[in-house]
Structure 1
């Protein structure tokens, strides 16, 4: 048996909608708490799905129930434990450096499946400070400082050194990063700062008047750096750039795209005006526009303009297989109810809307055309089953 495996006995089983919660005589598993997720692993051949501290008991969730009194082997997933320990220890280091060297207090912490985060009490964080922070953290990783985890009676705790005051009583578990941090903490941690590998801040976001820093450490940091490198290589290949010129080129392409979008919008305005004028030359109570190749936004713009002239406007967009019906509110017909009823009677498409506008979506162009023809016919002939 190693430190991640323990032979123990099932002492109780309780069932709920999640499955079967098992209590063990002794448990090597860490239950979720303090911002750290629960361990993963196995009890016998059964995968442990969750571990929670409930009513003072560590309970282990399995899909199946094991008989009380059964001797079992409880085995922690070492990779998950190591990863959680690295992320949690990285948080201790981040919190200590931010507070002691930059005067910024940590308010909360959590480990996610892909990254971790801390919320810090500041509004002035920027990326130049983050770059400096990462260098400070990396220096402490290089120094490979020992991390001591031990329990002492509450009266022996040096409360003047505690990172955060604790109301725990009895034996207090202390996590101490030599020369850096002294903390009352029940989570799992690595043995030295060198085992963190590297700590990399991946995102910064304002929340509730504070800043949330998202970070990764250890293998997570390596994977994040590799993903960023792959993205950068793809950009280099696409734009034929270097590291020095890539930002300038991306900004240039973004500017060009914005200019093109403006030009496209101007052209669409002209196209819409021309198509509306063409439709309005036909003096029909119901005006039909069919957009076979245009974007849905252009079809809608044209239909809205036609409806504003007092007609009932019907528009079809072949790309999205959608049908639109609108008027300016001066007509008695509630087009939403009309369209929904007509589609139900035809047993095609799905849609609805309100008094002035409605839309429907079809599963094929042929179905769209059939619906369009029938809707126009009913509107022209006054067949309003609503």
Structure 2
């Protein structure tokens, strides 16, 4: 079946009659049918596929595979059966708005600053285009958006035309075509001429509006995120809802939200700093207490303790604090965490003990992993032994 004989490119044809020409399963076992004609748009050209029903059965995917326009359904159909197809109009019209809006926005970028569009993505919530430039200013975005919305307000016609390769010389196309036969142009007179097989409304006014949301660098290009039509209203509703909640939470009107939020963030940073300093003092006190309980083992002063679910960063800090305060002590800490055993070994500068070698001797006996330096090392394993047994093992390997 030749795709150009179908009428899926008619954007307003949402209910149609057709006949089942093929009913099969694909390589993954999914049911699909091929029709003699269809209003379903398949995925392609940056535009998602249509959804809808065939005789009430849901169509969740449409794609062109090896010349077949496949409509994926839940169950098989009888070959030759005449069916009624229905397109999900809300989804279709949304895609029409976004796709036509992309044409207008891309043309506005090229018209205003000469930035060509190199790719387009029509997402479920937000659309994006990649434009060929490595620098973009907010003022430029404002001018582009202003031009795009002016074209929309002028309610210019959006025309489609099938042309031959020889006829292309009559049009100034914005980008090179990807096909050489069955060429379909989408035209906004005196503004944009573009080869495209997607669905579009019949006037720019039906796009309603375009809003650029933000942009980011993408390799050597700039990715611009935007929404069109009903999505603009949805974005406004969602963002206004967030603003209303923040206004209540921060006790500040909309125009002062940024100042209020920055004030809260600054206070939070100050609180975090105070908490960190207090926590550090507590760990110093804990370290001093542990140091006072050091015991003599193999002619070494050893500070050892078993902890329950302590962050390793804290144990490493306490161990370093002790060995920094006194150069002739060893530190052996074991942490009994929920999912595994962890341990930290540290030695003072004046001791000959190598903590990394100590850890390497212990790890094979507990099927663990770890390592470190001469003065501090750490490791961990599954609960193959108890925390107390691990401590005994560390003491034996001193």
TM-score by length of 2: 0.80
The answer to whether the Cα contact below 8 Å between 2:336 and 2:387 also exists between their aligned partners in 1 is no
Shift of 1:104: 1.1
Shift of 1:267: 2.9
Task: Name the structure 2 match of 1:288.
Answer: 305
1:302 paired with 2:322, answer no
SS at 2:288's partner residue?
A: helix
Note the residue ranges of structure 1 that are not aligned, 5 or more in a row. 341-351, 362-370
C-alpha separation between the residues in 2 aligned to 1:42 and 1:316? 58
Q: Would the alpha carbon gap of residues 233 and 303 (structure 1) be closer, same or farther in structure 2, given more than 3 Å must change? A: farther
Note the residue ranges of structure 2 that are not aligned, 5 or more in a row. 1-11, 296-301, 346-354, 372-376
TM-score by length of 1: 0.82
Bigger Rg, which one: 2
Q: Would the alpha carbon gap of residues 383 and 314 (structure 1) be closer, same or farther in structure 2, given more than 3 Å must change? A: closer
Task: Name the structure 2 match of 1:136.
Answer: 147
Task: Name the structure 1 match of 2:370.
Answer: 354
The answer to whether the Cα contact below 8 Å between 1:287 and 1:306 also exists between their aligned partners in 2 is no
Moved more, 19-28 or 62-71: 62-71
C-alpha separation between the residues in 1 aligned to 2:267 and 2:148? 40
Q: Would the alpha carbon gap of residues 225 and 315 (structure 1) be closer, same or farther in structure 2, given more than 3 Å must change? A: same
1:375 paired with 2:391, answer no
Shift of 1:227: 1.3
Q: Would the alpha carbon gap of residues 303 and 53 (structure 1) be closer, same or farther in structure 2, given more than 3 Å must change? A: farther
Q: Would the alpha carbon gap of residues 338 and 114 (structure 1) be closer, same or farther in structure 2, given more than 3 Å must change? A: farther
SS at 2:254's partner residue?
A: coil
1:325 paired with 2:343, answer yes
Shift of 1:183: 0.8
Query: Which 4+ stretches in 1 moved above 6 angstroms?
Result: 381-384
C-alpha separation between the residues in 2 aligned to 1:338 and 1:297? 24
Q: Would the alpha carbon gap of residues 20 and 145 (structure 1) be closer, same or farther in structure 2, given more than 3 Å must change? A: same
The answer to whether the Cα contact below 8 Å between 2:315 and 2:333 also exists between their aligned partners in 1 is no
1:120 paired with 2:137, answer no
SS at 2:70's partner residue?
A: strand
The answer to whether the Cα contact below 8 Å between 1:239 and 1:249 also exists between their aligned partners in 2 is yes
Task: Name the structure 1 match of 2:335.
Answer: 315
C-alpha separation between the residues in 2 aligned to 1:236 and 1:297? 38
Task: Name the structure 1 match of 2:350.
Answer: none
Task: Name the structure 2 match of 1:345.
Answer: none
Task: Name the structure 2 match of 1:348.
Answer: none
1:270 paired with 2:281, answer yes
Root-mean-square deviation (CA, aligned residues, Å) is: 3.0
The answer to whether the Cα contact below 8 Å between 2:158 and 2:186 also exists between their aligned partners in 1 is yes
Task: Name the structure 1 match of 2:184.
Answer: 173
Q: Would the alpha carbon gap of residues 129 and 167 (structure 1) be closer, same or farther in structure 2, given more than 3 Å must change? A: closer
Task: Name the structure 2 match of 1:27.
Answer: 38
SS at 1:49's partner residue?
A: strand
Q: Would the alpha carbon gap of residues 339 and 63 (structure 1) be closer, same or farther in structure 2, given more than 3 Å must change? A: farther
